[in-house]
Structure 1
Amino acid sequence: MESRPAPARYGPDYTPKMVAAIASCSTAIGRLDARFTVSPVAKPWAMRAAWTGYAKALQLQSAEVEEIDVFSWGCGLKMPGRPPLPSHLDLFDRFAEWRAALDDPDLLAWRDALPTAIGEPAVARDHPPLIQSLDTVRQLARIEHSIMAWLGLPFALRDRGLSATPLPCLAGGAKAFRMKRKPDADDWLAVLRALESAARIGLERLHGLERHYRDAQRAITAEYRPGALPALLALIQYRPLLSPQSVAELLSMSIAGASKLIERASMAGLLVEITQRRSWRQYLTPDLAADFGYLPAKRGRPVKERPSLPLDRDLASVFDAFDREMAAIDNLLTGAR
């Protein structure tokens, strides 16, 4: 009788398809991490990525929400056409705790808080760091039935050296990790492909946010008197969904003044209206408007970016002032959380 190899007791069976998926996923994570560590918009991207990751974790908890709903909650505005979220559940009760953990400089805090039942057999050292990270989440999901199991994946990836810092958009896993004692090959492949997709989308959005940052600089330099425009453009980095009322409250100005300011940003192509009505208007950044279906997806070759602005002392002072506005907005929103 023909003998067959025994199935793996730790991790998946390393078929050629599995090995290729692991390599591709690890590479995508590495590219995102490398770009994030040097990006001038790392902080606002991390805030947006946290909403993306939390949406994925909620879906793994079988919550009927989409990413757009979490962005809406994070920006404090209800997007038009979206059904109301369940009122009998507090879907976001763990978000503040998770955000605090993401910002915690203690690299051992998450690992030290893991249940003692989670271990790592000696054979784990023979497996790729990505599989070790996912297996930690699998074990945690079997013990911890809350959303925090799925939110732990960015920390596990960091602890295994796949990223220098937790990347919030990489939260996730698979329901099979919780429901099955031993996930099969299809379960592992599904997780790897979903994680790779999250890393690729995260990198695309990071590049998009950097383009928005450069376009904001161009818009400021094109204005004879920028006024409060730099403050609004800095705010857009952190709050991509805005209304005149929210801008007026956050920037301490009148609603009429906020409306005029938003109109200037819209004329520069940095915001698009998604409500098409005379009152209670809402605006969204063009990239997310396309992602969420408010604008048609761009097809064909990407539009060539305008050439970089020349470097001189006057422009350098403008750029420094814009960066100070972004730091001020970050402090303002951090204090409001």
Structure 2
Amino acid sequence: MPSPASYGPDYTPQMAAAIASCTASISRLDARISVSSAASAWNRRATWSGYARALQLQSAEVDEIDVFSWGCGLQIPGRPLRSTTLDLFDRFDAWAAALADPDPLAWRDTLPTAISAPAVATQHPALVRALDQVRQHALADGGILPWLGLPFALRDSGLSASTLPCLAGGAKAFRLKRKPDADDWLAVLRALERSAREGLERLHDLEKFHRNAQRAIVEAFRPGALPRLLALTHHRPLLSPQGVADALALSVAGASKLLERAVAADLLVEITQRRSWRLFLPPDLAVEFGYAAPKRGRPAKEPPPLPASRDLTVAFDAFDQEMAAIDKLLTSARGPKLSSP
């Protein structure tokens, strides 16, 4: 490896192992998301996760669940109220629009002209080049955009085929130090690897939820609006009776009964034990955010796949169409608010 006198970290065995491990985690996530049927729903959740991490690097006192609740348009009782004087989410719509932009050069064209890579950069790993772009951007811009730019830098470096929004991040040391030391680089690499692993685990959980939803629909004597509710849950995991009623054109009482059916089928968990202003989350997110206790002991064996039949194929295709319709509805509802970065 070249001497990193003015570029990149010192390539000790520990650093080389961290770079290789982080690169492998990103590659695994990218490979899985490229073939997953739950990619659209995962991307929506990953966008909230990545934005939460970027806010934390800006020293904002916000947790991931707060960004999820903002994205779903709900306030969770007991959580701090959002500031009315400072808009923490003023960059979110522009970032979401950039993530969905098919032009791979659109984000790069908005970078400050001061960001450049020396000739020696081509001799360094792609992951180091991507992180150094974020470091230069953080020195030139004191806002949140440098941390939001990491998924684009990873894509432009060839580490991922598409932007993976859960990989937004960086390190405060990139902004505070002209040359981060080895500990700073290792901290960034480990945090990025952890984000990639968590993103892959959440994709697995989402796909498992999809399979469980299919089984629940097949086992229901009269599914009714249950498929539409489960399709909505994929894309908007935090639910309330009023929100479900508005999205699915139901009465509040009907939406409450529908949510209770999903709870009885172990597809949702109520996180507010109250008669009014009830809120629900999928089991995996309820456990992750601390609203439900994780199950102890050996994990339950997943039921075998349902036998193939024409009737099941029709039911599953209808469910996938419901998911696509909900995705289109939520995307179009957000569309007019988008602005360019």
Both proteins in one fold, TM over 0.5: yes
Report deviation, 1:299: 4.1
1:198 and 2:195 correspond: yes
Instruction: Provide Cα deviations, 1:69-119, integer angstroms capped at 9, x if missing partner.
Output: 000101111112211122210000100000000000001111122111110
Hey, what does 2:325 align to over in structure 1?
328
Judge conservation of contact 1:65–1:85 (CA < 8 Å) in 2.
Answer: no
- Whole-Å Cα distance in 2 between the matches of residues 118 and 274 of structure 1? 46
Query: What code does the residue aligned with 1:138 have?
Result: R
- Whole-Å Cα distance in 2 between the matches of residues 264 and 17 of structure 1? 51
Unaligned runs of 5+ in 2: 335-341
Instruction: Provide Cα deviations, 1:216-259, integer angstroms capped at 9, x if missing partner.
Output: 00000011221111100000001111010000011111001101
1:149 and 2:152 correspond: no
Hey, what does 2:74 align to over in structure 1?
77
Structure 1 runs, 4 residues or longer, greater than 6 Å off: none
The number of equivalent residue pairs is: 333
Query: What code does the residue aligned with 1:263 have?
Result: E
Hey, what does 1:303 align to over in structure 2?
300
Hey, what does 1:229 align to over in structure 2?
226
Q: Secondary structure at the match of 1:218?
A: helix
Hey, what does 1:35 align to over in structure 2?
32
Query: What code does the residue aligned with 1:111 have?
Result: R
User: Which residue, 262, 265, 288 being the options, matches 1:265?
Assistant: 262
- Whole-Å Cα distance in 2 between the matches of residues 73 and 224 of structure 1? 35
Q: Secondary structure at the match of 2:143?
A: coil
Judge conservation of contact 1:57–1:150 (CA < 8 Å) in 2.
Answer: yes
Instruction: Provide Cα deviations, 1:161-219, integer angstroms capped at 9, x if missing partner.
Output: 11110000000000000110000000000000000000000000000000000000000
Judge conservation of contact 1:118–1:140 (CA < 8 Å) in 2.
Answer: yes
Judge conservation of contact 1:110–1:155 (CA < 8 Å) in 2.
Answer: yes
Hey, what does 1:175 align to over in structure 2?
172
- Whole-Å Cα distance in 2 between the matches of residues 6 and 100 of structure 1? 39
Q: RMSD of aligned C-alpha atoms?
A: 1.2
- Whole-Å Cα distance in 2 between the matches of residues 328 and 87 of structure 1? 33
Q: Secondary structure at the match of 1:242?
A: coil
After TM superposition, the score normalised by the length of structure 2 is 0.96
- Whole-Å Cα distance in 2 between the matches of residues 171 and 20 of structure 1? 22
143 and 38 in structure 1: CA distance in 2 versus 1, 3 angstrom threshold: same
- Whole-Å Cα distance in 2 between the matches of residues 40 and 6 of structure 1? 44
Judge conservation of contact 1:154–1:168 (CA < 8 Å) in 2.
Answer: yes
- Whole-Å Cα distance in 2 between the matches of residues 205 and 44 of structure 1? 11
- Whole-Å Cα distance in 2 between the matches of residues 20 and 253 of structure 1? 54
Query: What code does the residue aligned with 1:150 have?
Result: W
- Whole-Å Cα distance in 1 between the matches of residues 281 and 109 of structure 2? 40
1:98 and 2:95 correspond: yes
Judge conservation of contact 1:54–1:151 (CA < 8 Å) in 2.
Answer: yes
Identity %: 70
Query: What code does the residue aligned with 2:70 have?
Result: W
1:238 and 2:235 correspond: yes
Report deviation, 1:300: 4.3
After TM superposition, the score normalised by the length of structure 1 is 0.97
- Whole-Å Cα distance in 2 between the matches of residues 8 and 289 of structure 1? 47
1:54 and 2:25 correspond: no
Query: What code does the residue aligned with 1:136 have?
Result: Q
- Whole-Å Cα distance in 2 between the matches of residues 299 and 9 of structure 1? 50
Hey, what does 2:126 align to over in structure 1?
129
Unaligned runs of 5+ in 1: none
Query: What code does the residue aligned with 2:175 have?
Result: R
User: Which residue, 38, 42, 58 being the options, matches 1:45?
Assistant: 42
Hey, what does 1:209 align to over in structure 2?
206
- Whole-Å Cα distance in 2 between the matches of residues 51 and 6 of structure 1? 38
Hey, what does 1:276 align to over in structure 2?
273
Judge conservation of contact 1:33–1:164 (CA < 8 Å) in 2.
Answer: yes
- Whole-Å Cα distance in 2 between the matches of residues 121 and 321 of structure 1? 53
Instruction: Provide Cα deviations, 1:9-51, integer angstroms capped at 9, x if missing partner.
Output: 1000000000000000000000000100011100000000000
Judge conservation of contact 1:52–1:70 (CA < 8 Å) in 2.
Answer: yes
